[in-house]
């Protein structure tokens, strides 16, 4: 597995990470814990050194899973987790300094580590100045409890303000062939400031793999059932993206998923996608994308074709949409 450096100040990690959320949260049926521990350890054996979790996934159970699975590999892997949601509280968000500190202490125990490698603010909290958030994490770094500071789904203004207080190592935001909004302002800002990008949902929540169509049904507690872009009608309309990837995949002796990830890797050398899965075969498939070489002609072909496709449906609905890009 090739490696990449997360921004100017970040750690060196595998070119692809592993998003662990779906192993215990978000997709309906919770996967078997021992099977997921085995999957995570198989990921390490196959060269993945970057793992993503958060206290809110479960809540708490995903951090516990990741901590147990990676305990034999302490010092060999980079674990990212997040703070910022008010679990069980009256408000959705809570990034008060005292809350950040309490989350850090609890996450350290669940992850079974002495320092959190990368600590993201999960969503920008409008009730707390971003400078106070960055300052609190800066103190945690000085105390040796955190190594690197990150933001998730933050807008340019928040990124700049936070970075001025404590250098931001990475921004985690959605980015894929069918969600390219970050290219307008976010990517240029990250390049200017030397911040890495960690795209989540790099496969469009599974849609870009080609394993989903208009007839696919989601469990009622699968969060994708609430995503407007993944309604049956919009899946049918957005099939053109999958067809584009599948066409190129044939010539590359690859899969649509591998081409989608290879496209992301080709955008910038400081981009590290974190596709998630609960299946070993899919993880191995995703790892294979790091070996798919897209030429400048390939990238131009994708660009020209993609510009002709209009994406149907928003990527979030209701209250979820209000928690992004502040």
Q: Exactly one of 57, 120, 175, 200 is catalytic; which is it?
A: 57
CATH assignment of the domain containing 85: 3.20.20.100
Give the model confidence (pLDDT) of 169-202 as tens digits. Answer: 999 999 999 999 999 999 999 999 999 999 999 9
Asked if residue 306 belongs to a domain, the reply is no
SS3 196: strand
Q: Provide mean pLDDT across the span 269-277.
A: 98
Residues 62-92 as b or e (16 or more Cβ within 10 Å = b): bbbbbbbbbeeeeeebbbbbbbbbeeeeeee
SS3 176: strand
Inter-residue contact 289 to 257 (CB < 8 Å): yes
Give kind and range of the element (H or E) at residue 170. strand 168-174
204's torsion region: left (phi>0), alpha (psi -120 to 50) or beta? left
On the question of pLDDT at 113 being above 80, the answer is: yes
The pLDDT, as a whole number, for residue 321 is 58
Asked if residue 49 belongs to a domain, the reply is yes
Beta bridge partners of 4: 13
175 is catalytic: no
Domain that holds residue 123: 3-203+267-292
Asked if residue 7 belongs to a domain, the reply is yes
**Contact residues for 220 (Cβ-Cβ < 8 A; gap 6+):** 28
The pLDDT, as a whole number, for residue 91 is 87
State how many domains the chain has: 1
């Amino acid at each position: 597995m090739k490696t990449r450096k997360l921004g100017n100040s970040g750690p060196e990690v595998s070119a692809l990470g592993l998003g662990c959320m779906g192993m215990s949260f978000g997709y309906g049926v919770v996967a078997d814990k021992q099977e997921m521990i085995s999957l995570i350890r198989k990921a390490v054996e196959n060269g993945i050194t970057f793992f993503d979790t958060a206290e809110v996934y479960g809540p708490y159970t995903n951090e516990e899973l990741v901590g147990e699975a990676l305990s034999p590999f302490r010092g060999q892997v980079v674990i990212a987790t997040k703070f910022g949601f008010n679990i069980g509280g009256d408000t959705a968000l809570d990034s008060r300094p005292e809350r950040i500190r309490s989350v850090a202490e609890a996450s350290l125990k669940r992850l079974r580590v002495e320092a959190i490698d990368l600590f993201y603010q999960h969503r920008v909290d409008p009730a707390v100045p971003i400078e106070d958030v960055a300052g609190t994490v800066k103190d945690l770094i000085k105390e040796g409890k955190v190594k690197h500071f990150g933001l998730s789904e933050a807008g340019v203004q928040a990124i700049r303000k936070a970075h001025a207080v404590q250098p931001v190592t990475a921004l985690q935001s959605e980015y894929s062939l069918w969600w390219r909004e970050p290219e307008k302002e976010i990517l240029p800002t990250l390049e200017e400031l030397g911040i890495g990008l960690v795209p989540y949902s790099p496969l469009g929540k599974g849609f870009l793999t080609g394993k989903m169509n208009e007839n696919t049904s989601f469990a009622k507690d699968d969060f994708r059932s609430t995503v407007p872009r993944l309604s049956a009608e919009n899946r049918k309309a957005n099939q053109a993206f999958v067809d584009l990837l599948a066409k190129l995949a044939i010539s590359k002796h690859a899969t649509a998923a591998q081409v989608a990830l290879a496209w992301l890797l080709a955008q910038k050398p400081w981009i590290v996608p974190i596709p998630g899965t609960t299946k070993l075969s899919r993880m191995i498939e995703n790892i294979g994308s790091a070996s798919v070489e897209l030429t400048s002609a390939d990238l131009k072909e994708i660009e020209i074709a993609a510009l002709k496709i209009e994406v149907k449906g928003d990527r979030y609905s209701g209250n979820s949409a209000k928690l992004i890009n502040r």
